Amino acid sequence: MNKYYLILVFGGISFGTASIFIKLSGMTPSALAFFRFFVAGLILSLFSSINPRKILKYSLFGFLLALHMITFIISVYKTTIIDATVLVSTSPFFVILLSRFTKFKNTIKDVIGSIIGFLGVILINYPLEIGYLIGNVIAIISAFLIALYTTFLSNVNEEPLLLTSSIYLSSSIFTFPIFLIQGFGKVNEISILSLLGLIFLPTLIGHTSIIVASGKVKPQHIEIIGLLEPVSASILAVFIFNEIPTLFQIIGSALVLLAVLYILLSSSR
């Protein structure tokens, strides 16, 4: 099996911790986004150096990632963890629609894997709570933004660490003005530990796995494997927030895992 698929599996699982850390932190969306990308960018730049030209060159990616992150954090605050992570994971279907702009074209296996994953997403999110409608709509917007990000990123050929640090630092620049307006929000030991967890797990492992695999793996496959996020988030939510999954959520999670397994097996042939 292609090693980049294994990297993405670890990244997809780590994404599931993001909504947990966000919910626990109580910090403003812009504070979380700014410090998440600024600190992660600085850490990665220790291994690649800071290049202002590259930061400017990849500012579009930084802008899309910043918008995705802020909208995702808002959705976590406005709806349930399960709804937010499931709806943001509809991004594979946007990627398939956008695939004409990449060097990777859809195959019947991509469509089958997406359909299986999509059915899982529907079941996990059934029934949809109308009271969480605003948060759910924002989560779908966040899904479209990360789909744009992944699609455009697949056409970039750059040294992974330099690319990653440049995008993260660019994202922090875009989120900084909003942070100055919104401020920190809640600041205590739990919020600080949650922020550190957000930086090291879903950012340095999760988002970095996407950048490392871009150009080596179809963007459709990157987003389908990303469907592991709502599954791992739902499991964690059981123990941390006592959010017990329904039968539909269990069956839906199984379908998502099946879709990821199908993509992994088809990629090794």
Cα–Cα distance, 209 to 160 (Å, whole number): 10
User: Model's pTM, two decimal places?
Assistant: 0.84
* Residue 44 contacts residue 204 (beta carbons within 8 Å): yes
The pLDDT, as a whole number, for residue 224 is: 77
CB within 8 A of 254, min separation 6: which ones? 120
Cα–Cα distance, 210 to 258 (Å, whole number): 21
The pLDDT, as a whole number, for residue 259 is: 79
Question: Can you tell me the mean pLDDT for 82-99?
Answer: 78
pLDDT tens, position by position, 40-51:
999 999 988 899
Question: Can you tell me the mean pLDDT for 139-146?
Answer: 92
pLDDT tens, position by position, 177-210:
999 999 999 999 999 999 999 999 999 999 889 8
pLDDT tens, position by position, 100-118:
666 666 677 777 877 887 7
* Annotated domain spans of the chain: 3-267
* Residue 29 contacts residue 21 (beta carbons within 8 Å): no
Cα–Cα distance, 231 to 196 (Å, whole number): 22
pLDDT tens, position by position, 210-226:
888 888 888 878 877 87
The pLDDT, as a whole number, for residue 214 is: 84
pLDDT at 269 over 90: no
